[in-house]
Chain A
Amino acid sequence: MRLAFVDLVFSWPPLGGAPLDLYYTISGLQELGHEVHLFYGAEVENWRLEPVREDRLPFPATRLPFTAAETTPEIMSGRFRAAVDAWKPDVVFQCFGFFMKPYVSLALSHYPQVARYYAYEPFCPRDYRLFWKDRTCPKNYLSTPNVCRRCTANALRRNFLMGLVTGYALEYERTRAWSPEYHAVMLASLRSYKAIIVYNHFTKRLLEGITDRVHVIGGGVHFEDFDYAPLPEKGRSERTVIFMSGRADDPTKGLKTLLDAGKLLWRERQDFEIWATLPDDPYHYPWFKALGWHDFKQIMKFYQTSDICVTPSTWEEPFGLVAVEAMATGRPCVVSDVGGLQEIVIPGETGYLFKRRNAKDLAKYLRILLDDPALRRRMGDAGRKRVEEVYDWKQVIRHHYPPLLEKVLQ
């Protein structure tokens, strides 16, 4: 089967989870024997992205360059349509993109299309996070468009008043994403897809009433890249390491909750340390260590040195790759009950779920794991087994994509 992938803001080396997800999906489908081709928009001028290193991609790719002036729905749709038409695919995958995605999708609607959403792009035009005042936003662009239009206009106001119309703001301006017409285009594009892939059931629920062709397919890791490291035996004077990986400086990642839990635990015991991938340490707690930013190899070492991994996100984390990585290394995970994270960890088996933003709840589960090294080991092993069975990219592709493609072509 000939599969075309359209990505409007692709970057390689990857700048985030979306290009990584796309890379593994394309490579996996290629390994299954499909003919694949990536068409990506090189919006170097608008998004200020570094040029894609095509020599590092194991599949063919076509670069479609756009200057800032050419970043319009008409030009982008036209060019993508011409390029994809020339290749004649059987199915088109619509991958990462913001305000331009609905227009490009409609331009290619003569093909069976599958759309992948990586966060909450169709629901939150403000910043695709669906996160408002430290809570999951109860509104959504598809059900309360007028509220969301006002919210987005308000959020992007600063960009326009300061004259910083680039990237996200430029696409907003060029697509007239504040207008009712854009809302209609968005709905039409969502209804035109033969399938929509999302990371979690929370996102699937948001699409109820629009389309019933929604498939929940999680992301994954390359299982072979993760060496199993048995939990280190701790001497009496050695501290147990609780590790938080990911962009800990992002407030939605919930470091504050972990630190509050750390304070609670420190009052009763001093046998642990909390490590986080944070660039600077503004806290100076005796039990906290900011590790800074590191490459994948070093992060692997941190996982292997740690005893417990925590992902305390407060927003509806679409997937939760760091929890999967920790489980693949054989570590028990304590994660908040948000979005995709609550679907990754099986409570009581591979780790625990705690109530988001609830430091007491988190401390309770950390206490259980700190007290019981055997339980940590058991949960770590169960987590690794779960990743091998469910979240290894090979399994994800083999298990989900052949039936999906069959359904799309029916």
Chain B
Amino acid sequence: MSDTERIGILFNETRDAALLLKAARRRHPDARLVAILSPRAAVRFPARDLVDEIVEVELSPLRLLIRGAFFQMVEVLRKQRFDLLVLRFPTLKLRLLAALVAPMRCEIWLAGGVIVPTPTTPGAAVRGYFQRRFTGVKMMARIWCNVWCSRIPRRQGRAGGDAS
């Protein structure tokens, strides 16, 4: 890990920001942490002292649409040249945004310490998203079929005390 590694963390939701930043600092002690915030969130950002830098960009999809400023925002983030961009939610929109910003690496950090690497090119991001979704739908269909169709007989299931 080099001293100059820049890690951008996109806070479209600032709840538990301090926890996430502390985890980021633990994981990358020498990196420069950059919080990406909307101007409104930046005013009352609770973990200001835990980041090295704050980049303010408009993150509201509606406002970006009305002002037609989406690509300007992407350009601002692209210029930051992040080594790692951290997203907090695994939505297609955020994955696409990350791919357009083109950091070296991109990861989704979810609650519970789960980290999922995600592609950093738009085509791969879209393809990866739908592939995962399709696999997931297939798996869920399999699980639901099993859960509803192969029931555990009552006699076997009655073992064990009652929690109530």
Contacts and interface: CB of A to CB of B under 8 A. Distances in A.
Interface of A: 15, 47-48, 123, 130, 136-146, 149-150, 153, 157, 159-168, 173, 176, 178-180, 183-184, 187, 202, 205-210, 249, 279-280, 292-293
Interface residues of B, number: 42
Nearest to A139: B163
Contacts of A293: 18-19, 22
Interface string B115-158: 11000000000001101110111011001101110111000111
B157 A161 contact: no
Given A123-B163, A143-B160, A183-B156, 7 more contacts: A48-B114, A140-B160, A153-B140, A160-B140, A163-B135, A167-B112, A210-B159
Contacts of A48: 113-115
B68 interface: no
B152 A180 contact: yes
B16 interface: yes
Given A143-B157, A163-B135, A178-B143, A183 B152 contact: yes
A159 B108 CA distance: 13
A164 B116 contact: yes
Interface of B: 16-19, 22, 46-47, 90, 108, 110, 112-116, 128-129, 131-133, 135-137, 139-140, 143-144, 146-148, 150-152, 156-164
B92 to A, nearest CB: 10
Contacts of A149: 147, 152
Contacts of B22: 293
A162 B46 CA distance: 29
A205 B161 contact: yes
A210 B160 CA distance: 6
A179 B150 contact: yes
Contacts of B144: 153
Q: Name which of A139, A153, A160, A184 has the most chain B CB atoms within 10 A of its CB.
A: A160
22 contacts: A48-B114, A136-B163, A136-B164, A138-B162, A140-B161, A144-B157, A153-B140, A153-B144, A153-B147, A160-B143, A164-B108, A164-B110, A164-B116, A178-B147, A205-B162, A206-B161, A207-B161, A210-B160, A249-B19, A279-B18, A279-B19, A280-B47
Contacts of A143: 157-162
Given A139-B163, A279-B19, A163 B132 contact: yes
A210 B135 CA distance: 37
A123 B159 CA distance: 11
Contacts of B135: 160, 163
A209 B152 CA distance: 17
Contacts of A180: 150-152
A157 B133 CA distance: 11
Contact of B136 (A160, A167, A179): A160
B16 A249 contact: yes
A293 B46 CA distance: 14
